[in-house]
A and B are shown apart, each in its own frame.
Chain A
Amino acid sequence: MERMPVFIKIDEYDEVLKLVRLVRKKLEEAKATVLKINDLKNEEDHQLEMWQNTLAEVEKKIDFIDSSLNEPEQF
């Protein structure tokens, strides 16, 4: 009684196969969307890295300007 075979009517079986195909299609779509999100995340990371570099550059320049104005050489 534990392992009884299960039978499914053929017409419904076709329907089940159709559904599985549909689920598979949706799965592929979801996978593509996740890949797209990952790409966007990488773009975001790249942009953030660029911002960090830009800010570091600006800081260097401001430091130089600041030191030029605040620490002039004595005559």
Chain B
Amino acid sequence: MSAPRTVSSTSKEKKMDLRVQLNEPQSVRKDILEALREIIIFMQGYETFMKIQEEKIAAFGQLRENVKEMHGLVHDKLRRHLPKGKLKGYVPEQQKEAAMPEERKMEMPPSTPSMPRKEESRELDDLEQQLQDIEDRLKNLS
């Protein structure tokens, strides 16, 4: 068996000559290499993860489109073919909207393509309004 190897950490500036005995130098070397390998595998995994993320974003976009199309079909087309039923509670709402003062309507800022946030929030407001209408109608049915 060979004598234990020593590791020197000397430098020109340092006065102290430190030597550390490694009892298992091969194991240390092996561990360094393995740690490096694991880190590289980790970095490869990161690339895979980013790819999955991109696919997921695309899938969410696709889902949004699907649901939007469904909404369009049910709300804009299918409902037109079916009788509206009792309009109790719904008509006054429309009348209220029609009777809204002109000044208040003027307060709404005009939409521009450079304001996607505003458009998004308007879309959410529309959905909220539709939801409210549906809730009212369901209440009237029961």
Contact = CB atoms under 8 A, between A and B. Distances in A.
Interface of A: 6, 8, 12, 15-16, 19-20, 22-23, 26-27, 29-30, 33-34, 36-37, 40-41, 43-44, 47, 50-51, 54-55, 57-58, 61-62, 64-65, 68-69, 72-73, 75
B81 A16 contact: yes
> Dominant SS at the B interface?
helix
B6 to A, nearest CB: 10
B66 interface: yes
A23 B70 contact: yes
Interface of B: 7, 20-24, 27-28, 31-32, 34-35, 38-39, 41-42, 45, 48-49, 52-53, 55-56, 59-60, 62-63, 66-67, 69-70, 73-74, 77-78, 81-83
> Dominant SS at the A interface?
helix
A65 B32 contact: yes
A20 B42 CA distance: 48
B22 A44 contact: no
Q: Ordered nearest first, which 8 A-B pairs have the shortest CB separation?
A: A30-B66, A61-B31, A61-B35, A33-B63, A26-B70, A40-B56, A72-B21, A16-B81
A16 B31 contact: no
B83 A6 contact: yes
A73 B73 contact: no
Contacts of B56: 37, 40-41, 44
Contacts of A65: 28, 31-32, 35
A37 B28 CA distance: 43
Given A15-B81, A72-B23, A40 B38 contact: no
B82 A58 contact: no
Contacts of B81: 8, 12, 15-16, 19
B28 A64 contact: yes
Nearest to B70: A26
A15 to B, nearest CB: 6
B44 to A, nearest CB: 10
Nearest to B20: A72
Contacts of A69: 7, 20, 22
